[in-house]
Homo-oligomer: A and B are copies of this chain.
Amino acid sequence: MPPLPPLELDRFQHVCGTCSLRELCLPAGLGQDALAAVESMVQRHLPVLRGHFLYRAGSPLHSLYAVRAGFMKSSVLHEDGREQIAGFHMTGDIIGMDGISAGRHVCDVVALEDSDVCEISYVTLETLSREIPALQQHFHRIMSREIVRDYGVMLLLGNMRAEERVAAFILNLSQRFSARGYSPSEFHLRMTREEIGAYLGLKLETISRVFSKFQEEGVLDVQNKHIRILREGTLRALIGSPACAR
Q: Which residues of A contact B (CB under 8 A)?
A: 76, 78-80, 82-84, 86, 97-102, 106-107, 126, 129-131, 133, 136-137, 140-141, 143-148, 150-155, 157-159, 198-201, 240-242
**A78 close to B143 (CB less than 8 A):** no
Q: In the complex, what distance in Å separates the CA atom of A148 from the CA atom of B137?
A: 21
Residues of B within 8 A of A107 (CB): 151
Known: A140-B100, A141-B101, A240-B79. A150 touches B148 (CB 8 A): no
**B140 close to A133 (CB less than 8 A):** no
Known: A101-B141, A130-B133, A201-B158. A151 touches B148 (CB 8 A): no
Known: A84-B154, A107-B151, A154-B154. 18 other contacts (CB 8 A): A79-B240, A79-B242, A82-B155, A82-B159, A84-B151, A84-B155, A97-B147, A98-B144, A98-B151, A100-B144, A101-B141, A126-B133, A130-B131, A130-B133, A143-B143, A150-B153, A158-B200, A159-B201
**A101 close to B144 (CB less than 8 A):** yes
Residues of B within 8 A of A153 (CB): 150, 154
Q: In the complex, what distance in Å separates the CA atom of A97 from the CA atom of B138?
A: 14
**B137 close to A126 (CB less than 8 A):** yes
> Please, which residue of chain B has its CB at the minimum distance from the CB of A145?
B101
Known: A126-B133, A150-B150, A201-B157. A80 touches B240 (CB 8 A): yes
What is the count of identical protomers in the complex? 2
**A101 close to B155 (CB less than 8 A):** no
> Please, which residue of chain B has its CB at the minimum distance from the CB of A132?
B130
Q: In the complex, what distance in Å separates the CA atom of A100 from the CA atom of B141?
A: 6
Q: In the complex, what distance in Å separates the CA atom of A240 from the CA atom of B83?
A: 13
Q: Could you say which of B76, B106, B126, B240 contacts A78, with CB atoms under 8 Å apart?
A: B240
Shortest CB distance A102–B (Å): 8
Residues of B within 8 A of A76 (CB): 151-152, 154-155
With most chain B CB atoms within 10 A of its CB, the pick from A98, A137, A158 is A158
Residues of B within 8 A of A133 (CB): 126, 130
Q: In the complex, what distance in Å separates the CA atom of A200 from the CA atom of B82?
A: 18
With most chain B CB atoms within 10 A of its CB, the pick from A82, A129, A130, A148 is A148
Q: Could you say which of B99, B146, B157 contacts A154, with CB atoms under 8 Å apart?
A: B157
A-B contact pairs, 18 of them (CB 8 A): A76-B152, A76-B154, A78-B240, A79-B241, A79-B242, A82-B155, A84-B159, A100-B144, A101-B148, A107-B151, A126-B137, A146-B147, A147-B150, A150-B154, A154-B154, A154-B157, A158-B198, A159-B201
